[in-house]
Structure 1
Amino acid sequence: MAAADTVDLIPVLDDNYVFVWHGGSGSKAVVVDPAVAEPVIAWLEQRQLELVAILQTHHHSDHIGGTPGLLARWPGAEVFAAGADRARIPIQTRSVAGGERFTLLGRPVQVLDVPGHTRAHIAYYLPAVPGTAARGELFCGDTLFVGGCGRLFEGSPAQMQQSLQSLAALPADTRVWCAHEYTEGNFAWAAAERPHDPALGERLEEVRKLRAAGRFTVPSSIGAELATNLFLRAADAAELGALRESKNNWRG
């Protein structure tokens, strides 16, 4: 079953992605961070998939807004979310915390604590399955972006750096499914911030070609982010904080 696992993305709103993980020829699906319900319901029904679980990374409305609608259509679906954020994600039916493991669609899932963007932000990591085509998958919400990281709404630079370093320690070929299409702006900023770094300029050109062709830049990989994401490359929390402030104020 694991060899046939598939992750698809559904673009919604201005720049959000909703992810659907399903078992290839199987009939069951898991949805990650549904901002809205209607296009997700239509996507699942068109493929005759049954929603069995929703994974929430954090409480922002553009990540949980579609969950009530999905539950109205599939009332038996479990909702996984941070137990520490029960007050802000009261629809959760399975409260989890960093370090916990569970199984969905026949695959193990690890919960990672990654605070910084919000105080109770979590990520979900599916390790690769040896002997199959199933590679590692990371659903990281708004902690790690392609070429960037989330704004520090409730956390500190030290928290964000620790969170990013925990993600950086995952296998290099792990696919990174981040929840927004911010990539072109992230690399335009990075190339301006480090104009003498050829890798950043090259990545920016690749991204611009993809977007001009109407293609997505998600997923990335941990290896690609280690090579070109300034936030993952930050030496310490102070550097990360300075980079985040620069990106906040950038108007390129």
Structure 2
Amino acid sequence: DERPPLPTRSVPCRPPPPEPGQRMQVLVLHGRQSNANLVNYQISGLKAALGKDVDFHFLEGDVLWTFQEGRDLHDADQLSVSLSKGQPFKDWFGHATDDLRSRPDLFRQFDPGVKVSYEGADAAVDKLLHRLQEEGPRIDIVVGVFEGSIVVHLAVARLLQNGFPVPWRLSVLFGSLPIRDDSYAAPFAGGLRKADHATIHVFGRADEYYFYGRTGAGRGAPEDYYQGALVLEHGEGHRMPSVQPAAGRLLGRVAEEMHRLCSATST
């Protein structure tokens, strides 16, 4: 199926680096079963590594998440509920599969023989691109956490398909996940066509999604969507790295790259 086109007038070129004295502007996309309050806590280590001269903005999905027996491995834990501060849990989009077996959705997506069809993904991409193109302030860097990384890939795929540049300077993708609906991944042509966009992909080797994220269920790793992607790994599970001193070194490297790509000398 054809993806919705983008109006030419509303797609800017990549923004120039911040002027001297301007603060870096970062937009954060949460993961599945999350929200702005929860992801703000999750990225606290990254915020500390970046320092004070950075403004963070948060964008939430519009799909309300509720626990479904047989689909989800577990309900939201009490810590996540507390950190959410009364806000509901959100997803970015839904999906369906052609797998009729009774098993958790996680295993269906891991199975390369299962067809996955996204539901509402276009609306998620529309929301991200509208925030970047129609609302202020400018955004220099987009951070995608878990499912949020898929929304970034989907947006870049649409831009690539329509021949537009990516209107932000860098994407930082924690737990970077592949596009599982093959129709949405088509602009990347199975890794043969790569977007000219700087990306950092961070994976946890103890994450239950690690092998899936590194192979895309037999469809290629998500960093293969991009030219010159930087891949970093840590030894933890499905979470932001936090075990010191390794987490500090990794997040320090990410922060260094973010500052470098937003420096006045970066083109």
Q: TM-score interval w.r.t. the shorter chain?
A: 0.3 to 0.5
Instruction: Give the TM-score taking structure 2 as reference length.
Output: 0.32
Relative to the length of structure 1, the TM-score reads: 0.33
Query: Higher RCO, 1 or 2 (CA under 8 Å, sep at least 6)?
Result: 2
Q: Select the structure that is richer in strand.
A: 1
